[in-house]
């Protein structure tokens, strides 16, 4: 692994999957959680794992605490940048709930033969993002492992009246997405030398950008529901929002923001280890309003790492939200709308 006669060290080769593509599939996760004994009701718990939301929320005095944990294997080959992306990915769950991160604990699984300086660079990159978010990095835990992993447990706070969940979407809302899709395929293509560093760069830059500003603007413009789009892909996270809000989401495929090279790579057969699981989980709830090519369907189920926010926003406020997002250097696309009827997902 340390890069001798076998070739230069590649961080992206330190794990069997990259970023959130290593997540347990949604159906497997649901089966695992269903086997656990039911926890007794606790009035202090405002959001738990039952709704498939981005983080847990626990009432604390007049505020509520938001808690989450995210650990991922490497994305790309730059240690410091991997640390920054992993931290942005973990913090995103707090912002997706309308919260403000307070502190984080780091977790690192480190192979014994990791080259000198790599672990320190990963930790330093993560610390940069945490401190830049106005939170404190207060400690952590490390273990030896055959595969490299890094991430954070994050605790934040939110006023219950400002809490964003995946259950607030209402008919006539518009859906806004704040980052391009396609990081799963691009990261895998890079790992297997189907894409060079310049081709991966747009995805790395987007993953490194936090969702702090997007979440702040979402609250300012009255977003009613939010989730971040990560390992279950756009369709999986959209389905969670539709199910918990008891609405049908209508997605306009041609409006989806997509990373350059995604369709070429998907057409050439590049995919991820959890794309099929993501598709199987949501396929029965998905209505395709027109024929789609295989590479187009791949985009709907592609697992994202440090993906954008999917926001359900009142129709009369969406233009101002998009304008402010774009003015602040964010990606912003109106990708669909919310309709009444049986919970589900239509792509047209």
29-33, 78-82, 330-334: segment of lowest average pLDDT: 29-33
Q: What is the pTM of this model?
A: 0.86
Sign of CA dihedral 146, 147, 148, 152: negative
pLDDT score at 29: 55
The answer to whether residue 20 is catalytic is: yes
CA proximity to 249, closest of 145, 169, 186: 169
pLDDT score at 149: 95
pLDDT score at 5: 43
pLDDT band, very low/low/confident/very high, at 61 (cuts 50, 70, 90): confident
Question: Out of 20, 64, 249, 322, which one is annotated catalytic?
Answer: 20
Judge contact between 247 and 340, C-beta under 8 A.
Answer: yes
207-226 b/e with 16+ CB inside 10 Å = b?
bbbbbbbbbebbbebebbbb
Task: Supply the mean pLDDT for the chain.
Answer: 90
Q: What is the pLDDT of residues 217-261, one digit of tens each?
A: 999 999 999 999 999 999 999 999 999 999 999 999 999 999 999
Radius of gyration of the chain (CA): 19
Q: Which residue has the higher pLDDT, 334 or 53?
A: 334
Q: What is the pLDDT of residues 256-287, one digit of tens each?
A: 999 999 999 999 999 999 999 999 999 999 99
Q: What is the pLDDT of residues 76-126, one digit of tens each?
A: 999 999 999 999 999 999 999 999 999 998 999 999 899 889 999 999 999
pLDDT band, very low/low/confident/very high, at 2 (cuts 50, 70, 90): very low
Cβ atoms < 10 Å from Cβ of 139:
9
CA proximity to 173, closest of 225, 237, 217: 225
Give residues with Cβ within 8 angstroms of 175, minimum separation 6: 238, 249, 251, 310, 311, 312, 313, 334, 335, 336, 337, 338
pLDDT value at 322 more than 50: yes
- Domains of the chain, start order: 11-162 (3.30.1330.10), 174-347 (3.90.650.10)
Sign of CA dihedral 16, 22, 24, 25: negative
Q: For residues 276 and 41, what is the distance between their CA atoms, to the nearest angstrom?
A: 35
């Amino acid at each position: 692994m340390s890069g001798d006669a076998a070739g230069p060290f590649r961080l992206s080769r330190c794990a069997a999957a990259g970023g959130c593509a290593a997540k347990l599939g949604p159906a497997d996760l649901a089966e695992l959680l269903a086997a656990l004994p039911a926890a007794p009701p606790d009035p202090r718990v405002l959001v738990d794992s039952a709704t498939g939301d981005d983080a847990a929320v626990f009432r604390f005095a007049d505020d509520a605490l938001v808690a989450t944990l995210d650990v991922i294997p490497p994305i790309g080959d730059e240690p410091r940048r991997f640390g920054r992306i992993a931290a942005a990915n973990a913090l995103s769950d707090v912002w997706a709930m309308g919260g403000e991160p307070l502190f984080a604990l780091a977790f690192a699984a480190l192979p014994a033969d990791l080259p000198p300086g790599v672990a320190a660079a990963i930790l330093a990159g993560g610390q940069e993002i945490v401190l830049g978010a106005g939170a404190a990095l207060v400690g952590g835990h490390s273990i030896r492992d055959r595969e490299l992993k890094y991430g954070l447990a994050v605790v934040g706070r939110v006023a219950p009246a400002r809490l964003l969940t995946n259950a607030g979407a209402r008919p006539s809302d518009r859906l806004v997405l704040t980052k391009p899709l396609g990081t799963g395929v691009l990261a895998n293509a890079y790992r297997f030398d189907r894409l060079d560093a310049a081709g991966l760069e747009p995805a790395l830059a987007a993953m490194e950008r936090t969702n702090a500003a997007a979440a702040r603007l979402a609250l300012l413009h009255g977003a009613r529901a939010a989730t971040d789009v990560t390992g279950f892909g756009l369709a999986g996270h959209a389905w969670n929002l539709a199910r918990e809000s008891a609405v049908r989401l209508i997605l306009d495929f041609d409006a989806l923001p997509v990373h350059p090279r995604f369709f070429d790579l998907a057409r050439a057969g590049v995919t991820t280890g959890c794309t099929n699981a993501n598709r199987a989980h949501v396929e029965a709830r998905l209505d395709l309003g027109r024929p789609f090519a295989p590479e187009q369907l791949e985009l709907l189920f592609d697992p994202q790492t440090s993906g954008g926010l999917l926001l359900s926003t009142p129709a009369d406020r969406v233009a101002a939200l998009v304008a402010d997002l774009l003015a602040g250097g964010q990606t912003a696309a109106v990708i669909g709308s919310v309709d009444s009827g049986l919970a589900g997902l239509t792509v047209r």
